[in-house]
Structure 1
Amino acid sequence: MTDCNSSDEDFAEDWVLYANRPEWSDVVPLKQDDGDNPVVMIQYSEKFNDVFSYLRAVMSKQEKSVRALKLTQDAAKLNAANYTVWQYRRDILQALSSNLHDELDYIERVIEDNPKNYQVWHHRRVIVEWMNNPSRELELTESILNMDAKNYHAWQHRQWAIKTYNLFEDELQYVDRLISEDMRNNSAWNERFFVLKHTGFNGDILEREINYVMNRIRLIKNNESPWNFLRGLLQQGDGKLAQYPEVVDFCEELYNSGVRTPYLLAFLIDLYEEKYFEAKNAGQDPELYQTKVHDLCESMATHHDTIRYKYWRYIADDFTRKIEGQINQNGS
């Protein structure tokens, strides 16, 4: 098999095996035991075998020392996803009462090299919790998101820090900048809703956000994220899509102007189904809305979302079943 280790290149050329270091001569390395008949023999590099053999040895004796701490650093270079390495490193940090500011500096460098590694982000969170100091987290996550605006781990860490330490104050401004740079950044739209959800919705905020998202949709109609954001906003009120007349007018204006994005049509289908039953319950003629729902479903199935044509046929049939169920209920 080929060498599974991809991190040897991170070591300096003059790096010395632990087996050749005089200060480690008192430690007997503990080799990995794969049993008598391993199914697959992994061809670890000499460096990998060396580091982890010494790590197993110090862990077996529960040595908590400065040299053991440095050893975990080499082990993390070789495999940053190894949970045991990070947990043992945390045990050593506590035992030595180490400078946690230095640890934040260290783990920041590791995160920059491994931005999509769960274990390094988890280690960062634990250290911040120990310090009870999130002052560097927004800057760190912003720098990582500048590298990849949709890095799930960075967003998760940012949301954790914001929620845990009440850092909401400037987050909407930050998110607005991200959305302005890329209106298709679904992570930024999700973050905007996250902030609003935790800071509270009221009438003024809903009105502001509805206008905000409608203006964004006007710029890019075929963009799923703001349509989902709009639905989420409307669910904060009475749960009805038609509760804000300006939203109804906005969607119908888009449709009448020739816009046929599947996100608009899907919104209108739900909107007209809702208005059908409102009209029916108010004793008005709902036939116009019934026709619109079926026509839009057919349009989705045959032109605008053909890959899910069965789904849209099902939605149309389900709408008919709801109508028949209401008729039967009223008739009984």
Structure 2
Amino acid sequence: MTTIYVSDPIHPEVLAELTTLGQVHRGYGETAVDYTEVSHEVEAVLLRAERFDAIKIAASPRLRIIARHGVGTDNVDIDAATTAGIWVTTTPGSNSRAVAEHVFALLLSLARRTPYGATGTAAGAWAELKPQINGFELHGRTLGLLGFGNIARMVATIAHGFGMDVVAHDPYVEDAAVEATGARPATAQEVITGADVLSLHLPLTPQTTHLIDAATLASMKPGAVLINTSRGGLVDEAALAQALVEGHLAGAGLDVLEGESVDMKNPLPHSVIDVAQVPNLVVTPHVAGQTAEAFLAAGTDALAAIRQVVAGDRPATAVNDVTAPSYS
């Protein structure tokens, strides 16, 4: 029997399947345990938001796999895991559609000032609000995509349905692949300066950290909108707040904050940006990939990776390459 640690809530069907493999410790809910209490016995971790650093890895002598419930690995020390002979896996594609749709949830909220209108109406200010809410239509506007992986391609498809013009840049994608979706390939600078709506679909690396800084924001069209459903560290939040307060940007929709790199479960105290004080800003708590369908798909893929490792096989979605030690 395998001992498994689950950091955050997952789809109940997946949780039920995990219990057939062995003992499951949960890092959430009424029966939550801190990982340090069980690290000596855990053989598999199904990881969502919790950070898994070198200290936790060093305290896990029997650990064989860290199965990420999602595509990002920012909260895992992959080098430490690899050195310890621990597989790290992800669930590529499992939440692509959910995230792509959330891009438009954020964008439409900004375009039609939905949160402002809904909150004000709930407070009884119907008549006062009505003349203040003048939105804009997406039809005919240019959507710029930085990064053109699975999610960005779905975003492009949805954008065409709104009648938007789509331009995209990704140094790892051939122009023909961009054109096949009906988008136009362009340089990064052309995308940034030409977009009415700029949507980020990039991994967080040393090269992309604060890619969207004060100078980049200044080069965007006056009245443009920024959407980020990728990683918070891509954006210099202080510079973004300034661009919003000064009115250079019409709005920004964020599902991720830079503070998540400090504490993924509670980033607000660590974030540079004060989400309650910045106008034209819509922030959601890293939930773009959280739909029932995506939860089931991601959980199922993570479970499959755990099953493969328990069986002694290489997991199909590994992001590292290890020579795993034998376990008794």
Pick the TM interval, shorter chain: under 0.3
Q: Which has the higher strand share?
A: 2
Structure of greater Rg: 1
TM-score by length of structure 1 reads 0.22
The structure where helix makes up a greater share of residues is: 1
Normalization by structure 2: what TM-score?
0.22
